[in-house]
Amino acid sequence: MYAATTSVALVGGEARPVEVQAHVGRQTEAFKLSGLPDTAVREAKDRVRAAVLSSGIRFPNRTVTVNLAPADLPKGGTDYDLPIALGILAASREIPDLRRAVVVGELALDGAVRAGTNALGAGVLSALHRVPCLVASAVAGEAASIPGAMAFGVSSLAEAVELLRVGLEGRASARPGEPMSREDAPDLADIKGQTMARRALEVAAAGGHHLLLHGPPGSGKTMLARRLIGILPRLEVSEAIETAMLWAAAGRRRGLDTTPPFRSPHHTASKAALVGGGSGNPVPGEVSLAHRGVLFLDELAEFPRGHLDTLRQPLEEGVVSVARRGMSVDFPATFQLLAATNPCPCGFHGDGRRPCDCRPALRWRYRSRISGPLLDRFDLIVRVGRVEAGEYAGRPGEPSAEVAIRVEEARAAQIVRGQVNRRLAPGTDLLESATAKGMVAAGVGAALLTARGADRVRRVARTIADLAGVDQVEEEHMAEAIGLRGEWRDD
């Protein structure tokens, strides 16, 4: 006796259908599972049998064979528990055939259905193929939030069996879940002083510019960086879904969170952890977990240079290709790069209050760990100075919520023009006044800017004009952009 149902595998952040085929034979009792299962999937056998028995349903005491097709696609995770159980029950004619349904969910030994990671993927397939999907109740809203999805939540295997025996026809889909946004992000109001760095952060947020902060240890680079999320625009629901799917592919549940993701991998992270990889089905790395959000590399110069160079493809194309045996998967990886670094190994170069112990050659070598092409990606390279104790005591900074309003408006202007300012290619008409153009030329003339530096400054000036709410980039905006640049060099 044979039956099949459908589940989901995430490949490169995309949902692909997996047919869960179940066959109950006549031979003596056995349970075989094929289709490149990983350890978690292989253990489904034990969970499924226990959950079925706990639910008071007969588990066939014959040869049970389950295949996850396509059989050459590696499968992982616990989301196949429920479809395997239902497939077997359909094959043994306990419930009607449910070929036209997408099922995901993890089973507890008592028969409870737990939220796995792929509810969104189930929703996507449900909408795409116009079939119902069955997921854990806890995440039914998530699956239903995909436009066009018909999602049904169940909290136990018994409930699922009951539901399928009665039939899904005429039942209303679960209501789309409310997107949520975390409000617990650290606030800019906590930062005293750092007036210039705060401004740089605001401009970076508004234009989506990659930002490198450099300065002595203890100057608050990391504190500042962690406050970028709080002033960035919230994600659209579609973007939140896109991001959550990538997280699911990495085995993490993110939910319908419209807070842009913030990832800060440590400099000891492996290349695979950064850009994705792993044996079997490639798993997205930090660059993809940061998709639509921020990738923060603290202690940038401590990252192995080879690792940093792998960032160039995603920075340029917004995707990262991970090649593995027999397949190459593209993961979306459009992120804003935020980095912090000490100016030199000892950290005190340029700090007037403490001498730098590093030999110049050592400083140079430290800086050269970051390749020129990567440095060129940063539209904003900003020096963060040390705040003297007491200097700004009792003077709280502007709260994130107020900055976020300006950022939001500046972003809106860019979206009308078609793209975020970071992506403006050199040569694009940025609507600069003649005096603004003169200002750049003067900056180049005074050897403050290189040709490439001028392009960066012009993009930043465009964002400053957007923050000011005007169409044309004026001289004042250009001057501020030139003032914001703080190259990382000896002086």
**Which residues are near other proteins by CB under 8 A?**
193-199, 215, 349-352, 383, 385-387, 439, 442-443, 445-446, 448, 464, 476-477, 479-484, 486, 491
Is the four-CA dihedral 127, 133, 139, 141 of positive or negative sign?
A: positive
Q: What is the C-alpha separation between 374 and 309, in angstroms, rounded? A: 7
CB of 215 to other proteins, least distance (A): 8
Which residue has 């395997």 as its token pair? 84
Q: What's the alpha-carbon Rg for the chain, to the nearest Å?
A: 27
CB of 186 to other proteins, least distance (A): 20
Phi, psi angle pair for 263, to nearest 5°? -115, 135
Residue with smaller CB distance to other proteins, 154 or 482: 482
Residue with smaller CB distance to other proteins, 29 or 402: 402
Task: Please report how the helices 237-249 and 119-129 are oriented relative to each other, as an axis angle in degrees rounded to 10.
Answer: 120
Q: What is the C-alpha separation between 186 and 184, in angstroms, rounded? A: 6
Q: What is the C-alpha separation between 446 and 44, in angstroms, rounded? A: 69
Residue with smaller CB distance to other proteins, 47 or 349: 349
Residue with smaller CB distance to other proteins, 244 or 484: 484
CB of 344 to other proteins, least distance (A): 11
Q: What is the C-alpha separation between 24 and 134, in angstroms, rounded? A: 23
CB of 196 to other proteins, least distance (A): 6
CB of 224 to other proteins, least distance (A): 12
Q: What is the C-alpha separation between 148 and 168, in angstroms, rounded? A: 16
CB of 459 to other proteins, least distance (A): 16
Residue with smaller CB distance to other proteins, 116 or 385: 385
Q: Which helix (H) or strand (E) holds 464?
A: helix 451-468
Residue with smaller CB distance to other proteins, 102 or 203: 203
Q: What is the DSSP letter of 421?
A: G
Residue with smaller CB distance to other proteins, 284 or 350: 350
Q: Which helix (H) or strand (E) holds 2?
A: strand 2-11
CB of 214 to other proteins, least distance (A): 11
Q: What is the full DSSP assignment across 21-79?
A: EEEE-SSSSEEEEESSB-HHHHTHHHHHHHHHHHTT-PPPSSEEEEEEESTTS-B-SST
